Amino acid sequence: MNSFNINHEIILKCNNIKRSFTIDKKIKLEVLKGISLEVYRGEILVIIGASGAGKSTLLHILGTIDRPDEGTLTIYNTDVFKLKDEEISKFRNRYIGFVFQFHHLLPEFTALENVMIPMIINQNNFYNAKTKSIELLNKVGLEKRINHKPSELSGGEQQRVAVARALANSPELIFADEPSGNLDSVNSEMLHNLIRRLNEEEKQTFVIVTHNQNLMDIAHRVFEIKDGILSAKEKNRNSYNHLQKS
Ligand SMILES: Nc1ncnc2c1ncn2[C@@H]1O[C@H](COP(=O)(O)OP(=O)(O)O)[C@@H](O)[C@H]1O
Ligand SMILES: [Mg+2]
């Protein structure tokens, strides 16, 4: 596990998050049964759990894409779910980036355009967006692929475009849902190294859910979700020592 010597500043705090789904109007599936978590600025926090454990459900709520049935979420001192949907979208565009398992790249557009689009949506000037996108694609090692469409890229390359896109508006907080879930071991490792480097260089905070145990290596702290409850893994104790405020 990574060592951690960053000040213990909380940027996200969720409290008693509950979420259930009703199936066939009668069966109630309780997926999240009261989850509380604090995320520190500059850390890589990994949440592991079996398939179906509720990882994506939790990540979507923490990332403000979905609302819980109960509980609160505070990001940068904003009580997020008190906001209207429109305001939440603005908040998300400003502070949050997402990397999904199946990258969701737009097939008709090039790597460069895929990275530029969120910036344009965020009302950046076209030329700034282009310059910044080229910079980001360089950073993920795709400078020779900027004009390729997703179908002309390998799985690992597509996932790196997705990472570059997630970084487009320089979000301070990046959520990743099984980012290496469909990559082979070589590409997974490359992606994990990339995340670690971005975290070190840009001080961006990552919250990653996965069932891939290897991701634990780059994490500062690891939690496990099981039976709707989140618990800290043993290993965290050592890294907590580094997190005490001086
Ligand atoms: N929109 C939904 N409607 C009904 N059930 C859902 C919905 N989303 C997720 N679930 C169920 O909730 C459980 C947790 O799903 P998910 O969060 O996707 O798990 P994970 O990402 O850990 O694999 C699963 O049993 C899944 O079928
Ligand atoms: Mg999932």
pLDDT tens for 172-187 read 999 999 988 878 888 8
Q: Report the half-sphere exposure of 124 (CA within 13 A, side-chain side).
A: 20
Is residue 158 in a domain? Answer: yes
The confidence score (pLDDT) of residue 93 equals 86
pLDDT in tens, 43-74: 999 999 999 999 999 999 999 999 999 999 99
19 CA distance to ligand 1 centroid (A)? 10
Q: In which residue are the tokens 């949440």 written?
A: 47
5 CA distance to ligand 2 centroid (A)? 30
Reference 58, options 42, 203, 69, 162; nearest CA is 69
Is residue 152 in a domain? Answer: yes
The confidence score (pLDDT) of residue 240 equals 46
52 CA distance to ligand 1 centroid (A)? 6
Reference 218, options 200, 237, 192, 244; nearest CA is 192
Neighbours of ion ligand 2 (CB under 5 A): 55-56
235 CA distance to ligand 2 centroid (A)? 24
Compute φ and ψ for 11, nearest 5 degrees. Answer: -110, -20
Q: Kindly calculate the radius of gyration of the chain based on its CA atoms and give it in whole angstroms.
A: 18
pLDDT category at 143 given cuts 50, 70, 90 is very high
Work out the average pLDDT over 11-40. 95
Which residues surround ligand 1 with Cβ inside 6 Å? 21, 23, 29, 31, 49, 51-57
pLDDT category at 18 given cuts 50, 70, 90 is very high
The confidence score (pLDDT) of residue 2 equals 61
Give the rounded percent of residues in the chain with a pLDDT score beyond 90: 67
Is residue 1 in a domain? Answer: no
Q: Which residue's alpha carbon is nearest to atom 18 within ligand 1?
A: 56
> Which residues constitute the domain of residue 211?
10-236
Give the rounded percent of residues in the chain with a pLDDT score beyond 70: 91
**How far apart, in whole angstroms, are the C-alpha atoms of residue 221 and residue 202?**
19
218: CATH: 3.40.50.300
Question: Residue 238 pLDDT > 70, yes or no?
Answer: no
At 90, list the tokens: 């603005």
57 CA distance to ligand 1 centroid (A)? 6
Is residue 81 in a domain? Answer: yes
Nearest atom within ligand 1 for CA of residue 225 = 22
Is residue 246 in a domain? Answer: no
**How far apart, in whole angstroms, are the C-alpha atoms of residue 17 and residue 187?**
34
Q: Which residue's alpha carbon is nearest to atom 3 within ligand 1?
A: 21
**How far apart, in whole angstroms, are the C-alpha atoms of residue 196 and residue 191?**
9
Is residue 41 in a domain? Answer: yes
124 CA distance to ligand 1 centroid (A)? 35
Is residue 3 in a domain? Answer: no
Sign of the CA dihedral 75, 163, 232, 30? positive
**How far apart, in whole angstroms, are the C-alpha atoms of residue 114 and residue 227?**
37
Is residue 245 in a domain? Answer: no
Q: Which residue's alpha carbon is nearest to atom 7 within ligand 1?
A: 21
Q: How many domains in the chain?
A: 1
Whole-model pTM: value is 0.89
pLDDT category at 12 given cuts 50, 70, 90 is very high
Q: Which residue's alpha carbon is nearest to atom 2 within ligand 1?
A: 21
Q: Which residue's alpha carbon is nearest to atom 26 within ligand 1?
A: 52
The confidence score (pLDDT) of residue 190 equals 85
**How far apart, in whole angstroms, are the C-alpha atoms of residue 85 and residue 159?**
28
The confidence score (pLDDT) of residue 245 equals 38
